[in-house]
Amino acid sequence: MNPLYTSMPTTIFEEMSALARATGAINLGQGFPDSPGPADLLQAAADAVLTRSNQYPPSMGLPETRLAVARHYQAHQGLDIEADEVLITSGATEAIAAALLAVISPGDEVILFEPTYDAYLPLVLRAGGVPKTVTLQPPDWRLALEDVAAAVGPRTRAIVFNNPMNPTARAFDRTELAALAALCIAHDLAAICDEVWEHVLFDDRRHLPLFGFEGMAERTLKIGSAGKIFALTGWKIGFVLARPRLLGPVARAHQFLTFSTPPNLQAAVAFGLGKPLAAFEAMRAELQRSRDRLASALVAGGFSVLPSEGTYFLCVDLAASGVSGEDREICRRWVHDAGVAAIPLSALYAAGGGPTGLVRLCFAKTDAVLDEAAKRLIQWREARLAAHAPA
């Protein structure tokens, strides 16, 4: 057995969801909406199951889906991309795995940004890569280019860059992105861009794909996810966009990971990606309202929350909320004593380290669920402050 896996814990997302299932807690941990998803996409998938082929589709994806992905990114992000520069994968995590397997040779260094989405590090290691971590600092989570430059060496081959970033809820600005692009070009790095949250942006922000920066299309593997775009996280339909020189090897990795992805869901995604702009704007507006609802309830109840520029998440600052203790312990108490599951941010730092005073909450939930969760957390906080008050 490989020691990486024998010593590996269950992911924090599965751990907290399992605890929520076992205790009946409200699950604001793992990021998934509690809505059924868009009815027209569900119907399109159901129709495709009944009326179309249920056999292997082409390994690269259904032609209609590849075309729909290319057209979607032309329309929404102005990208110069064609259908034959698109690969359909079984979720973005598979896309990231295939990209790393294709790009990394043993001993190559890969830059990760901390806090990191938890799959990156084990995937880099298993691909034979050597992770080099650049740590972002709360509460601004700005990308300090000097830190990135300091992490680059002669063996550095790639960056894995998540924008908008989970769990920090940060959408990087044009200045930060331009500097990162210039660094990739100067050091001839491949950019594996996990942009699954690209449509989940708030306060009129627009997504800026690194792929679109001058000189970056040739070196970028842009990864997206229908699960996040359509609030259907269980569908596990991802995409990789890249020029043929990069996409070819990723497709070779994909053919021996999952080979292909369910055709019926691909057909429904092709339909969904072509929906008018207003459908995507409505989704954003709805999530922004949910963000504001949870944030304002928590703040009114004495919690301090960090800004959320995008994603399904916001972070609570425990110390600034008057709650002492470490995030993992607080999350355990919240599940068992308050009935709310959350994600401790320290779980998303490679070698321990990182702040232990931040907890991530998912607000992609109905109003009633958000209100009840906020009420429980506020009551828990008040009880804790009362118990710890000087006599």
Residues that bind ligand GLN (CB under 6 A): 11, 13, 30-31, 166
CB of 17 to ligand GLN, least distance (A): 7
Nearer to ligand GLN, 131 or 238 (CB): 238
CB of 199 to ligand GLN, least distance (A): 14
**Angstrom distance (rounded) from CA 31 to CA 237:** 16
Nearer to ligand GLN, 109 or 118 (CB): 118
First CA to last CA distance, the chain: 55
CB of 166 to ligand GLN, least distance (A): 5
Nearer to ligand GLN, 22 or 386 (CB): 22
Choose among 83, 28, 38: nearest CA to 58.
83
β partners of residue 60: none
Cβ count within 10 A of residue 35: 12
CB of 79 to ligand GLN, least distance (A): 24
**Angstrom distance (rounded) from CA 54 to CA 31:** 29
Nearer to ligand GLN, 222 or 228 (CB): 228
**C-beta separation of 113 from 162 below 8 A:** yes
Nearer to ligand GLN, 31 or 262 (CB): 31
**C-beta separation of 151 from 184 below 8 A:** no
Nearer to ligand GLN, 32 or 211 (CB): 32
**Angstrom distance (rounded) from CA 334 to CA 27:** 11
CB of 11 to ligand GLN, least distance (A): 6
**Angstrom distance (rounded) from CA 330 to CA 325:** 7
Q: How far is CA 220 from CA 4, 52, 197, 306, in A?
A: 28, 34, 17, 30
CB of 371 to ligand GLN, least distance (A): 21
CB of 31 to ligand GLN, least distance (A): 3
Nearer to ligand GLN, 44 or 315 (CB): 315
Nearer to ligand GLN, 148 or 232 (CB): 232
* Structure-token pair, residue 342: 């959350």
Query: Phi-psi category of 291—alpha, beta or left, where left has phi over 0 and alpha has psi -120 to 50?
Result: alpha
Nearer to ligand GLN, 30 or 133 (CB): 30
**C-beta separation of 282 from 122 below 8 A:** no
Which residues, other chains included, contact 79 with Cβ-Cβ below 8 Å and sequence gap of 6+?
Answer: 73, 209, 211, 212, 217, 222, 241
> Can you give 250-267 as a three-state secondary structure string?
HHHHHHCCCCCCCHHHHH
Nearer to ligand GLN, 61 or 238 (CB): 238
| Residue carrying the six token digits 């909450």 | 361
β partners of residue 16: none
CB of 229 to ligand GLN, least distance (A): 13
CB of 125 to ligand GLN, least distance (A): 18
CB of 347 to ligand GLN, least distance (A): 11
Which residues, other chains included, contact 134 with Cβ-Cβ below 8 Å and sequence gap of 6+?
Answer: 111, 112, 113, 114, 144, 147, 148, 151
C-alpha 372: how far from its chain's center? Answer: 26
